[in-house]
Structure 1
Amino acid sequence: MIKENFIKLYENSFKENWDLPCYTDYGEDNAFTYGQVAEEIAKLHLLFQHCSLRRGDKISIIGKNTSRWCIAYMATITYGAIVVPILQDFKPNDVHHIVNHSESTFLFVSDNIWENLEEEALGNLRAVFSLTDYRCLHQRDGETIQKFMRNIDTAMKKAYPKGFQKENIIYTELSNDKVMLFNYTSGTTGFSKGVMLTGNNLAGNVTFGIRTGLLKKGEKVLSFLPLAHAYGCAFDFLTATAVGTHVTLLGKTPSPKILMKAFEEVKPNLIITVPLVIEKIYKNVIQPLINKRSMKWALNIPLLDNQIYAQIRKKLIDALGGRFKEVIIGGAAMNPEVTDFFYKIKFPFTIGYGMTECGPLISYAPWNTFIPGSAGKILDIMEVRIDSDDPYNTTGEIQVRGENVMKGYYKNEEATREVFTEDGWLKTGDLGTIDANGFIYIRGRSKTMLLSSNGQNIFPEEIEAKLNNMPFVLESLIIERNKKLVALVYPDYDSLDSLGLNTPDNIKTVMDENLKNLNKLVGNYEQVSTIQLYPTEFEKTPKKSIKRFLYNSIAEE
């Protein structure tokens, strides 16, 4: 058990950092100090008390990253209720299902999302609140919540006649073994399950962030990954709030253009991101630079290459704000070519590994001890084993146990039994090896692994990484059809247009050449029979993994 109480971390932080900036909405006037956040939390606690909410009641939150999203989350857990963050990318039917399955009492929601939800499908809710200003959008018959919210300032004056002070911050006494969060996974294999995370699971992640100095008091972060996802939530939000960091919430789709401008303005001290964002920056900013004929020539000259790499590193660091200690990449596999290049230029990045069921962190190593090809080192509060006869050399399922491992899936004992071994290890579903120092090396997902005709294991992700580096390939998906491998490719139409090559004949010529070059890079058992063009980008989860299960039918065509 983690010795620090999860809720007390925030009770102490709001007191100690009272005057420091806490949450700011990027590009808007909304900004809150730690003291102001604590006062907003106190208002919501009065609402919960007025409604006689009990310990363990569930409160759902869905919307873009905003200050009020964070405050609603904090108010829920510090009251002793269970928070249910829902990814805003979920379709209305999925939102209805999650709110109902979790038995949520309240829903905090962005106005634009509420417009697409159906009140009749959410019959168990007592009330719905806007994430713009917390006004009550809907209440069940017989409730007096709208009236109470209109008079919330009067209720605050009555509760705190001398004004709300830091001494008034007293949160519920709740042990770390209690469930505090249901996280409905976005998963790439079908509909999600409600992961039950305890205060101990959350404290394990947050105290690791504190202990390793990922973030400190007075530093800055830019939150652009969805906070309803465990990865961004644990570090950009929960760790940051526990130590007195200033969180700027992007609240927009993180396109490279928008991100670069925000990085320049915020100048974050730590960057938490997914591979897709970094790979786009690499493809758009760095590749055109190093592919110039003069640059290729210069990079082949000893001594000159190090100077050029140093210039590229500085350009990249400056573009990301110039003040960060490292970039932590997680959530999906990183393209090996990008990894190797960043390592070569000594860019301060590292790749971690986790899953929602661990809230999320399993392994991490600081950038200066990170080993390329690995996914970091198993945390000091976790253990790892490989389900194979030779875990150092023979690929097997990665299994973990420790402080961060979830309690189970809500109202789904069968799925909970299936994901744990008989001796209590969590089966990650990922395949890989480890080394003697506890570094983890991932090969692919057990559910996506294909078996060749001669019994060889084929990991589609490894072939896709090579294909994605080929000219005019934006993204790809390897599937099996009639016992042969087929590559679905969504071409980079913008690049083709810019060079006047966007015609069927030209695209076929390019892809035929790509296929020939790809098959030179892969093993005999991994040969791809054909490239099939796909008309749109592949549908993805919020952590930007392709939803492979949606494309199984194409494999059968």
Structure 2
Amino acid sequence: MREFTVPPMAAAPHVGGLADAVFDNAEDDPHRVALGRKGADGHWRDITAAHFRDEVLALAKGLIAHGVRFGDRIALMSRTRYEWTLFDFAVWAVGAQSVPVYPTSSAEQVLWMLHDAEVTAVMVEHEDHAMTIGSVVDRLPLLKRLWQLDADAVGELVAAGTQIDDDVVHRHRRAVTPGSVATVLYTSGTTGRPKGCVITHANFMFESDTMVGRWEPVFHSKPGDEAATLLFLPLAHVFGRMVEIAAIRGRVKFGHQPELSARALMPDLVSFRPTFILAVPYIFEKVFSGARRKAEAEGRLAAFDKAVEIAVKYAEAMEDRAFGTGPGPSAGLRMQHQFFEKIVYKKVRDAMGGRVRHAMSGGSGMDRRLGLFFAGAGVLVYEGYGLTESTAAATANPPERIRYGTVGQPIPGTTVHVADDGEVWLHGANIFSGYLGDPAATEAALRDGWLATGDLGALDKDGYLTITGRKKEILVTSGGKSVSPIPWRSGCGPIRWWRSASSSATTVRTSRRWSPWTGSPWTTGSPRRAGRR
């Protein structure tokens, strides 16, 4: 199959911008808990829709008081924090554009992005970030303001905006249209300087509304409960931004966790108790390895490994039944699966807070057997594929039928086309507008509305996409045969929800990793893209 389309679920929006959802939510259900915010005491505090609306409005007035105008670009340099989300929606409320900057960016990277985007103000997290900006500020003549979160930037701006009338913000907000630019997201720059991907309000609206509309049933641990997720992905990544926006628009409670390390993340999963998570394979690997180490310490390693075997077989049998190629788990397999439920599988779920039954994975390829294990343990993981230029996911496994080892079908309203040379092309309302100030690069990536991803892939008869390699890594022999110098295998493909279509450089790193399936370390030299994680 060369092309597959999934029809859209809803018409494209004709009016409004992303900040409108904050005000609409507060108007419709002011007392609904919209976010959770972790205090200095380690406890989570509920933030209602009305309270969040009031904070966004107050901060937006402060931005106007500090000279931020419609169309200005404001850089955000921070880890994943509540204040980032607050700034995002305040910036959009006044019709400005946000420019995310990775908190680990070097001074030269910061200089290029802020200069290229003509940024007029920057929000940073702490003094180290402020010093990074300070080291290049003399080469940024347009930069007028710098606010530091840890120096009470929010309080400073709110105080400055007290004399601004609410209606001033609302006039700015109502002037925003779906076609207005929401953000400029910079690529990793592996083929030169980073390129700014121009993403509109309509891009994010389509992407987030489609993901919520199609996958909303899996946000819950059981019918009727409150959907909640913990956002720990970097908000400088398109994946993290999409989750933030989808949670606000979809009225899903969410909290923030600034560290992606298992040491910091796992306790917050237990205390926040999300009903679903969106993560990278690293997190699932850490949950698995942690459970296995604990079993080994308790002298139950043999039982744990047997439970893994049963979970994989059970999930494979369920997969076969979903696709009509098998009858499902046998009676004996069901009994074995039930036996391990309390002594193994429940403990794995408890490590993620106890309520998670579904998850979405992107960022890199997940081993098929790892996905099958989690499915057998009661957590279905939906793997997807996309790029910065596609505003995150372009494909994802559908809720009804997961085909493990693939990145799923096109999300509703999107078409995947595999060109004659095997390159994956994408088309839909989530495709970006182009690269900021770079018409040549835009022309190379966008062809009559189609995004040429640079990835190689194949579609099966049901429209499920498998990524097989990278176009620029193909070599042509003297005999005219096209070959890949790097063997691609399931679990190592470039399923990156924040990779750029312009990235092509490859680094190969050899590392010692632990095999969850053999119980022994193995050496890998799997291909990894240079860039941020």
TM-score, structure 1 normalization? 0.73
Q: Indicate the residue corresponding to 1:381 in structure 2.
A: 413
In the TM superposition, 1:200-279 aligns within 5 A as 200-212=202-214, 213=216, 218-235=226-243, 237-252=244-259, 254-279=260-285
Show the counterpart of 1:140.
none
Indicate if the aligned counterparts of 2:357 and 2:379 stay in contact, CA closer than 8 A. no
Please give the alpha-carbon distance, in whole angstroms, between the structure 1 residues aligned to 2:140 and 2:124: 13
Q: Check if 1:86 corresponds to 2:117.
A: no
One-letter identity of the residue aligned with 1:281: V
Q: Residue in 1 aligned with 2:32?
A: 20
Offset at 1:35? Answer: 2.5
Cα contact 2:62–2:159 (8 A) shared by 1? no
1:417 corresponds to: 443
Shift of residue 11 of structure 1? 2.6
Cα deviations by residue, 1:405-454 (Å, 9 ceiling, x for unpaired) = 00000001111011123x33101111111134332111122234567898
In structure 2, list runs of 5 or more residues that go unmatched: 1-10, 314-331, 493-504
Asked whether the equivalents of residues 15 and 169 of structure 1 are also in contact (C-alpha less than 8 Å), the reply is no
Give 1:110's match in structure 2, choosing from 119, 125, 128. 125
Give the match for residue 521 of structure 1.
none
Q: Report the AA paired with residue 376 of structure 1.
A: G
The equivalent residue for 1:336 is 368
SS of the aligned residue for 1:107 comes to: strand
Q: Which amino acid aligns with 2:83?
A: R
The offset of 1:189, in angstroms, is 4.7
Aligned to 1:490: 511
Question: Does the 8 Å contact 1:11/1:171 carry over to 2?
Answer: no
SS at match of 2:209: helix
Give the match for residue 85 of structure 2: 70
CA distance in 2 between partners of 1:220 and 1:434 (Å): 33
Q: Is the Cα–Cα contact under 8 Å of residues 219 and 358 in structure 2 kept in the other structure? A: no
Distance between the aligned counterparts of 2:117 and 2:152, measured in 1? 21
Structure 1: stretches of 5+ with no match in the other structure: 137-148, 389-394, 467-478, 481-485, 500-509, 519-530, 533-537, 544-557
Contact (CA 8 Å) 2:59, 2:161: kept in 1 or not?
A: no
Q: CA deviation at 1:55?
A: 2.2
Residue among 177, 180, 183 paired with 2:179: 177
2:334 maps to 1:313: no
Q: Which residue of 2 aligns with 1:392?
A: none
Any idea what the Cα deviations from partners look like across 1:334-364, whole Å, max 9, x if unmatched? 2233234334555311101111111112012
1:186 aligned partner, one-letter code: S
- Equivalent residue letter for 1:15: E
Residue deviations 1:86-119 (CA, integer Å, cap 9, x gap) = 1212212101211111001111111231123323
- Equivalent-residue separation in structure 1 for 2:356 and 2:213 (angstroms): 18
> Corresponding residue for 1:36?
51
Please say if residues 177 and 200 of structure 1, whose CA atoms lie closer than 8 Å, have aligned partners that are also in contact: yes
Separation of aligned partners in 2, 1:199 and 1:294: 51
Shift in alpha-carbon separation, 1:371–1:309, aligned structure 2, 3 A: farther
1:369 matched to 2:401: yes
For residues 460-500 of structure 1, the C-alpha deviation after alignment (integer angstroms, 9 at most, x for no partner) is: 3635958xxxxxxxxxxxx99xxxxx97422359x9xxx9x
1:357 equivalent to 2:389? Answer yes
1:6 is the counterpart of 2:25: no
Q: For residues 475 and 372 of structure 2, what CA distance do their matches in structure 1 show?
A: 26
Matched-pair contact (CA < 8 Å) for 1:226–1:232: yes
Give the structure with higher Rg (CA).
1
Contact 1:22 1:34 in 2 (8 A): yes
Match of 1:348 in 2: 380
Q: Partners of 1:64 and 1:429 in 2: how far apart?
A: 30
Task: Select which of 320, 323, 333 maps to 2:355.
Answer: 323
Q: CA deviation at 1:309?
A: 5.5
Quickly say closer, same or farther: Cα 1:459–1:275, change in 2 above 3 A: farther
Does structure 2 conserve the Cα–Cα contact (< 8 Å) formed by 1:201 and 1:406?
Answer: yes
The structural deviation recorded for 1:13 is: 1.9
Does the C-alpha gap of structure 1 residues 294 and 16 become closer, same or farther in structure 2, counting only changes over 3 Å?
A: closer
Q: Distance in 2 between matches of 1:128 and 1:487?
A: 39
Shift of 1:387: 0.6
Kept in 1: contact 2:22–2:53 (CA 8 A) = no
Residues 447 and 289 (structure 1 numbering): CA distance in 2 closer, same or farther, change over 3 Å? farther
Listed one character per residue, the Cα deviations across residues 173-224 of structure 1 (whole Å, up to 9, x for unaligned) are 3221122210112365554210000111010112113312265895321111
SS in 2 for 1:262: helix
Higher relative contact order (CA closer than 8 Å, sequence separation 6+): 2
Are 2:468 and 1:443 equivalent residues in the alignment?
yes
Corresponding residue pairs, total? 467
Per-residue CA deviation, residues 382-401 of structure 1 (Å, 9 max, x unaligned), is 1110012xxxxxx7111011
- What amino acid is the match of 1:41? V
Distance 1:409 1:427 in 2: 14
Secondary structure of the residue that 1:314 maps to in structure 2? helix
Alignment-mate amino acid for residue 490 of structure 1: S
Q: TM-score, normalised by structure 2?
A: 0.76
- Please tell me whether the aligned partners of residues 418 and 425 of structure 2 are also in contact (alpha carbons under 8 angstroms): yes
Closer/same/farther in 2, CA of residues 461 and 77 from structure 1, 3 Å limit? farther
Contact 1:209–1:215 at 8 Å: present in 2 too? no
Change (3 A) 1:464 1:129: same
Instruction: Give secondary structure in 1 for the equivalent of 2:183.
Output: strand
* Distance change >3 Å, CA 385–CA 289, structure 1 → 2: farther
How has the CA–CA distance of structure 1 residues 133 and 488 changed in structure 2, closer, same or farther, with 3 Å as cutoff?
closer
Return the match for 2:458 from 411, 417, 433: 433
Compute the displacement of 1:271 (Å).
0.2
Q: Given that residues 17 and 244 in structure 1 are in contact (C-alpha distance below 8 angstroms), is that contact kept between their aligned partners in structure 2?
A: no
Match of 2:510, SS? Answer: strand
| Letter of the structure 1 residue corresponding to residue 511 of structure 2 | Y
1:396 and 2:422 correspond: yes
2:199 is the counterpart of 1:197 = yes
Q: CA RMSD in A?
A: 3.9
- Aligned pair in 2 of structure 1 residues 190, 269: CA closer, same or farther (>3 Å)? farther
1:258 offset after TM fit, Å?
A: 2.2
Identify the range of structure 1 (443-452 vs 118-127) with the bigger mean alpha-carbon deviation.
443-452
2:291 aligned with 1:285, yes or no? yes
2:153 pairs with 129, 135, 144, which one?
Answer: 135
SS in 2 for 1:176: coil
Q: Residue 25 of structure 2 aligns to which amino acid in structure 1?
A: S
Partner SS state of residue 437, structure 1? coil
Conserved 8 A contact 1:59-1:83? yes
